[in-house]
Amino acid sequence: MEHRKSERDRSKSIWVGNLSFTTTRDALEKHFSVAGEITDVFFPRNGYRNKGFAFIDFVDVESRNKAIEMLNDSQLDFRQLFVKAGDDFSREETPRVKREEKHYNDECTIFVGNLSYRAREDQIRDAFEHCGKVVGVRIPIIPGTTKRKGNRRFCYVEFAEKSSVKEAVNMGEIEIDGRLSFIESSK
């Protein structure tokens, strides 16, 4: 019996977000079956591709909880998944912290793309020290956490002097944490 969305019992369900638009139902079921028996997958589509999220129903609450614990922040089709209870419709509010106004000098900043997910700030800083004094490394993260946003594989490196930017950009690419990353001026 098919239920309308509003009538579905979501107590045994999970919501999965940040799915690749090319993720298939079979890949999703295979990835989440390690948590327990799946009874249904609600996988909304927009034409030929999915909408980037899904609901997965399990046979029991224990399997649902196991899926949340084991598979939140896991990778599927090169995307970091967000997994929460299917009946949790709250939007987690991150406390608004008043931050100092930061001013970045774009003329002294480079963009580094195709970073490894595991690349740490100290590794990035060390990779560019030979170009000049590194003032800062900015890796986009989800506010209130230390997790990178989605599948963000880039960062910004700010130098003390413009000449350092030129030297870094002239390299074209650099290996950081075993992955070849490209370098461009951020301006």
The answer to whether position 122 is within a domain reads yes
Of residues 44 and 88, the one with the higher pLDDT is: 44
The pLDDT score that the predictor gives to residue 147 is 63
Task: Examine the domain organization and report whether 114 and 168 are in the same domain.
Answer: yes
Domain assignment present for residue 1? The answer is no
Residues 74 and 139 in one domain: no
pLDDT of residue 148: 63
Indicate which CATH number applies to the domain containing 152: 3.30.70.330
pLDDT of residue 173: 93
For the residues 165-171, what does the mean pLDDT come to? 94
Summarised one tens digit per residue, pLDDT across range 91-150 is 553 333 334 445 667 889 999 998 888 888 889 999 999 999 998 888 877 665 556 655
* CA distance linking residue 28 with residue 41, whole number of Å: 9
pTM: 0.48
Q: Mark residue 178 as left, alpha or beta (left: phi above 0; alpha: psi -120 to 50; beta: remaining).
A: left
Would residue 97 count as lying in a domain? no
Query: For the residues of 60-73, what is the DSSP string, one character each?
Result: SHHHHHHHHHHHTT
Question: Is 73 part of any domain?
Answer: yes
pLDDT at residue 101, as a whole number: 47
Look at residue 83 and tell me whether its pLDDT is greater than 80. yes
pLDDT value of residue 2: 45
The pLDDT value given to residue 127 = 95
Tell me, yes or no, whether 70 and 112 share the same domain: no
- CA Rg, the chain, in Å? 21
Start-to-end Cα distance in the chain: 57
What total of structural domains would you count in the chain?
2
Statement: residue 184 has pLDDT above 80: yes
- Is residue 91 one of the residues assigned to a domain? no
CA distance 52 to 23: 8
Query: Does residue 132 sit in the same domain as residue 175?
Result: yes
> pLDDT (tens digit, 9 = 90+) per residue, 8-61?
678 899 999 888 888 888 999 999 999 999 999 998 888 778 888 999 999 999
Measured CA to CA, the distance from residue 154 to residue 165 in angstroms comes to 16
110 plus 179 within the same structural domain? yes
Same domain, residue pair 68 and 121: no
Whether residue 110 is found in the same domain as residue 74: no
Residues 113 and 78 in one domain: no
Range of the domain at 153: 106-185
Please compute the mean of the pLDDT values over residues 145-168 and round it to a whole number.
81
Q: For position 51, what pLDDT does the model report?
A: 87
Are 33 and 65 contained in the same domain? yes
Note whether residue 99 is domain-resident.
Answer: no
